[in-house]
Amino acid sequence: VLQTLSLNRSNQSIPDDARLLQLPEDPNQWKNLSTDWVYPKAPPQPLKNTEAFITALKSMDWLEGDRKALLQFLYDNDQYLMSLKELISTKAIADPLESKLFMYLGKHDSANSKQLLTEVFVEQDLFSPNQRFRSLMALKYSEKPLTDIQVEAIFEYSMSYGLNEENSKLAHSALMVMGAIAKNQQGSEFSSQLTQKLADSLSSSATDKKASALITALGNSGDYDHQQLIGDYLAGDSARLRLNAAEALAKMPSKTSLNYLSNQLNQETDSKTQGAILKAMGNNELDAEQVDSIYAFADASNPKDIRSAAISALSQQAKSKPEVKSRLKALVKTETNQKNLRQLMKALYGS
């Protein structure tokens, strides 16, 4: 392919506010540009008033309608979204339409949609537990930062004590969703601030239930900066929190997390946590000694669930270490549990 290029010198000086001049010298610190900045949307074309918006919204097919058209409708009428609060609180939109509407509000991902979803979650007297849970699931789609006010509102509710069982579950779910949102925006300043807030809350948590949700939230975030904090809980007194820590570190494979897991494996007394440690170790690149240690747990003398976890870890290693397959074949001869045998056959021969 022959290409011809021509360069023309411009006599105009580079403007002082040019984005390139404002970037740090280290390219690793350059922030990703938002899609909306690179590909700006056309200005919204809203309906004439709130009443027209609600009438149009009720007439739309939120179950089977065209996804792009529904999202464009929300974009054009973003200024009216807070008017849906009364509509939702009075249950004027029946299931399953309401469920789909929540999903689209999450995917719309604007400041107004997130404000609406946040208020639905925190205002327990106006909205049902089901609606509040749906608002959290919608917020999981957030790929743009929440406002400080929105984050504070969710944390203030989620970190409060004395909630009944149902509200306590919702509060813990909210913390886990905060971790998922941080994961969606990993590498951004907002994500770092959010995971630090989760870590600070964990350090000051007064109950195991709250700590459990926060450890899971940090695992959901995938923020490697907090491996040490999670690792401390892996060696703690609570079996529940050790299990949460193992499952969180499974989402952060690295030499650091592997070191915590390896150190805890043989001294772990809780079988569920031991199984979680084995699976988490399998997500890392293991050396021969570590493979040997996991293989020992696949021995027939161990409980079937422990053997299953060891087989899972070895199966992960077999993808990059062909020699591990011979060890899996040897286990086929000694394994007596049908579920574990199917697991072995899948690792060896695929589905």
Mapping DSSP to helix (H, G, I), strand (E, B) and coil, where does residue 37 land? Answer: helix
**Peptide bond connecting 96 to the previous residue in cis, omega within 30 degrees of 0:** yes
Length of the chain measured in residues: 351
Mapping DSSP to helix (H, G, I), strand (E, B) and coil, where does residue 63 land? Answer: coil
Q: Among candidates 34, 38, 100, which has minimal Cα distance to 63?
A: 100
The letter for the amino acid at 240 is R
- 222 near 257, Cβ under 8 Å? no
Pairwise CA distance, residues 168 & 165, whole Å: 5
Q: Can you say whether the dihedral through the CA atoms of 243, 247, 250, 254 is positive or negative?
A: negative
Pairwise CA distance, residues 226 & 246, whole Å: 13
- 319 near 283, Cβ under 8 Å? no
Mapping DSSP to helix (H, G, I), strand (E, B) and coil, where does residue 23 land? Answer: coil
Q: Residue 220 has what pLDDT?
A: 98
Q: Residue 234 has what pLDDT?
A: 97
pLDDT digit string (tens) for 62-71?
A: 999 999 999 9
Q: Whole-model pTM?
A: 0.88
CB atoms within 10 A of CB 332: 13
Pairwise CA distance, residues 216 & 272, whole Å: 16
Pairwise CA distance, residues 164 & 167, whole Å: 5
Q: Among candidates 195, 194, 234, which has minimal Cα distance to 218?
A: 195
- How far, in whole angstroms, is CA 31 from its chain's centroid? 20
- 211 near 205, Cβ under 8 Å? yes
Q: Residue 37 has what pLDDT?
A: 77
Q: Which residues of the chain have pLDDT under 50?
A: none
CB-based contacts of 108: which residues, under 8 Å, 6+ apart? Answer: 71, 74, 75, 78
Q: Residue 211 has what pLDDT?
A: 97
Q: Among candidates 202, 124, 203, which has minimal Cα distance to 168?
A: 124
Which run of H or of E encompasses 76?
helix 67-76
The letter for the amino acid at 277 is I
- 328 near 349, Cβ under 8 Å? no
* Token output for 186: 């990993």
Q: Among candidates 318, 258, 274, which has minimal Cα distance to 343?
A: 318
Pairwise CA distance, residues 147 & 138, whole Å: 16
pLDDT digit string (tens) for 171-229?
A: 999 999 999 999 999 989 999 999 999 999 999 988 999 999 999 999 999 999 999 99
Pairwise CA distance, residues 150 & 139, whole Å: 11
Q: Residue 208 has what pLDDT?
A: 95
Q: Residue 2 has what pLDDT?
A: 85
Which run of H or of E encompasses 216?
helix 208-221
Summary count for the chain: helices (H), strands (E): 19, 0
